[in-house]
Amino acid sequence: MNYHNPSLTVISSEIIPGAIRWRSPSNIALVKYWGKHGNQLPQNASVSFTLSGAATDTTLRYKSRQEAGESVEVALLLDGTPNSGFTERTKAFLEKLLPVYPFLKQLSFTIETSNSFPHSAGIASSASGMSALALCLVSLEEELFEPFADRAEFLAKASYLSRLGSGSACRSVYGGAAVWGKLPGLDGSSDEYAVSVTESLHEVFKNYHDDILLISKSEKSVSSRAGHGLMEGNPYATARYAQANRRTDEMLSVLKHGNVERFGEILESEALTLHALMMSSHPPYILIRPNTLQVIERIHRYRADTGNPLYFTLDAGPNLHLLYPHAVAAEVKQFIREELLYFCEDKMYLADRVGKGPERLEVNE
């Protein structure tokens, strides 16, 4: 699919100022995207659960600009305060989108954004943030030009734009579960955008829990961008990409049939593989902390003692996501409170669930 469209231009003076608001959630990868090529294309397929509570609210305000400039005119406010770092990142993203949306340099934008989770929580906001903005942009396209034929087309384009901002963001535009990356066995799958696999999700996974244990709230010492880049020289890269594609295939079958034990085995191995890849990069990165290992040991012991299917995963940082079915929620939460919170910074954790995906909100004036 080529979304480049030089004809998407407007007559600025005819634009009535307006605003669009979307809330978009974060997602947790079950099989990880780690390694990319070309223009934000993944080296392997990945699959994730979209979350419910961890989300970004973004309002995109637009008005006409007297004369189109060479660059995009945008100001970004985070929680109501101008933020120069995010403004620069957003400007670069919007400028990258000019071949898709030439009208972006004909308008002037103010973006107001806020996250449902604390900034200092050490949780990546790029998936929710980029997808919320992408959804606002596709809604703006519909307002300025034509509506999409159906919601699937709308979401595919939002996923495509999200991917150009941050790879993992492209999976956040769908509720339930989403796959990003071409898989021969999955019709419609693509490296360019994610597809939903929610329809084939077994009941047990529809309201699965994901409690996020905040082991450390500090900034990551390596950006995902740099981390992905290091895969290029990683001696295990080829084997890893093949493994991830096989695992995404298998995970899809597991998600369909509801095998929570096999789900957990793949989940944990993916987390450890991701960190093993970082440790075997040059330079190497160790992003887990001693308390991450303390918690992992206790989860393993808990599983052996109780038989409850509680498993963990990690992103490119020390914080753990604990995934488990609703049927054992009361017991697991007690275990977290009594035995795991001790290892978390400020004894903090965020209780989340598999969610229904982004929603368009009314704009507050």
Residue 172 is a binding residue for ligand DP6 (CB under 6 A): no
Helix (H, G, I), strand (E, B) or coil at 105: helix
Least distance between ligand DP6 and beta carbon 224 (Å) = 3
Residue 240 is a binding residue for ligand DP6 (CB under 6 A): no
Q: Pull the structure tokens for residue 262.
A: 């096999």
Ramachandran assignment for 76, one of left (phi > 0), alpha (psi -120 to 50 degrees), beta (any other): beta
Burial 188-206 (b: 16+ CB within 10 A, else e): ebbbbbbbbbbeebeebbe
Q: 166 or 319, CB closer to ligand DP6?
A: 166
Q: 105 or 240, CB closer to ligand DP6?
A: 240
Enumerate residues 6+ apart whose C-beta is below 8 A from 18: 61, 62, 143
In this chain, which stretch among 66-74, 160-168, 321-329, 332-340 interacts with ligand DP6, using CB under 6 A? 160-168
Least distance between ligand DP6 and beta carbon 220 (Å) = 10
Q: 34 or 208, CB closer to ligand DP6?
A: 34
Which residues between 297 and 336 bind ligand DP6 (CB under 6 A)? Answer: 315-316
Q: 36 or 61, CB closer to ligand DP6?
A: 36
CB-based contact 115:125 (threshold 8 Å): yes
What is the enclosing helix (H) or strand (E) of 52?
Answer: strand 46-64
Q: 46 or 58, CB closer to ligand DP6?
A: 46
Which residues between 63 and 122 bind ligand DP6 (CB under 6 A)? Answer: none
| Continuous H helices in the chain | 84-96, 126-144, 151-165, 203-206, 224-230, 237-257, 260-279, 290-306, 329-335
Separation between Cα atoms, residue 79 and residue 140, nearest integer Å: 22
Q: 224 or 291, CB closer to ligand DP6?
A: 224
In this chain, which stretch among 164-172, 191-199, 325-333, 338-346 interacts with ligand DP6, using CB under 6 A? 164-172
- Helices 126-144 and 84-96: crossing angle in degrees, nearest 10, is 50
Least distance between ligand DP6 and beta carbon 132 (Å) = 15
| Site map 194..233 versus ligand DP6, x via CB under 6 A | ------------------------------xx--x-----
Select from 166, 245, 273, 292 the one that contacts ligand DP6 (CB under 6 A). 166
- Helices 151-165 and 126-144: crossing angle in degrees, nearest 10, is 130
Separation between Cα atoms, residue 357 and residue 54, nearest integer Å: 11
Residue 167 is a binding residue for ligand DP6 (CB under 6 A): yes
CA dist list (Å): 250 to 33, 254, 263: 16, 6, 9
Least distance between ligand DP6 and beta carbon 243 (Å) = 14
Which residues between 18 and 47 bind ligand DP6 (CB under 6 A)? Answer: 29, 32-34, 40, 46
Q: 29 or 322, CB closer to ligand DP6?
A: 29
Q: In the complex, which residues of this chain contact ligand DP6 (CB under 6 A)?
A: 29, 32-34, 40, 46, 124, 126, 166-168, 224-225, 228, 274, 315-316
